[in-house]
Amino acid sequence: MAIHEAGHQVVAVAVRVRSRGVSLSGDYGQSRDGLNRHLYEPEEARYWELLKKEIQILLAGEWAVRIFYDRAKEDSDAYGSENDWKVLGPLLRELSEDSDVPVFALQERHESAVLNCLTDRWCFVERLAGELLETENLSGEQVTALLQDMPSFSG
């Protein structure tokens, strides 16, 4: 669970989304509109930029667990990502309809970007997960402080 949540946070901060905090009990985290995408119209480029960031952040928890256990996608569906996928599916379909790119191709593209982001920043995932295991809750300010020397990502 700590690796899963740390994955979300590392990718969020890497794509320049301010952390609201994280908790092993689920008290923190990005809400469905955590990126304020709802403030923009679909005709605006910022809407689609935020949608792509949201997809990558949601994918990051599952991919962090896959990296940690060194498992391929086909090995298991038990990554603690059920709630993430309830949101991800509709977001991928929305992006697919707008871009005329099949959902599976978009998913693979974003999964590849997330895998690269997490692999390159794995020490930060471990740092954040370790702190989460000790404290169970981290504020947004604490997450930012722990990840302050992490490079950003433009995946």
| pLDDT tens digits, one per residue of 86-100 | 888 999 999 999 888
Residue 2 has pLDDT above 60, yes or no: yes
Whole-number pLDDT of residue 84? 85
Between 84-88, 109-113, 118-122, 142-146, the lowest mean confidence (pLDDT) is in 84-88
pTM of the model: 0.85
pLDDT in tens, 119-134: 999 999 999 999 999 9
Q: What is the pLDDT of residue 41?
A: 75
Q: Comparing C-alpha atoms, which of 85, 84, 155 is closest to residue 119? A: 155
Beta strands, E only, the chain:
21-23, 137-139
DSSP state, 45? H
37 versus 149: the higher-pLDDT residue is 149
What are the pLDDT digits (tens) for 58-67?
999 999 999 9
What b/e sequence results for 112-140 when a residue is b if at least 16 CB atoms lie within 10 Å of its CB, and e otherwise? ebbbebbeebeebbbbbbebbeeeeebee
What architecture (CATH level 2) is domain 2-146? Up-down Bundle (1.20)
The domain spans of the chain are 2-146
CA distance 146 to 151: 12
Q: In sequence order, what are the residues at sequence separation of 6 or more whose Cβ sits closer than 8 angstroms to the Cβ of residue 61?
A: 4, 5, 7, 8, 79, 80, 81, 84
CA–CA separation, 151 and 8 (whole Å): 15
Contact at 8 Å (CB) between 117 and 155? yes
How many angstroms separate the CA atoms of 2 and 24, rounded?
A: 7
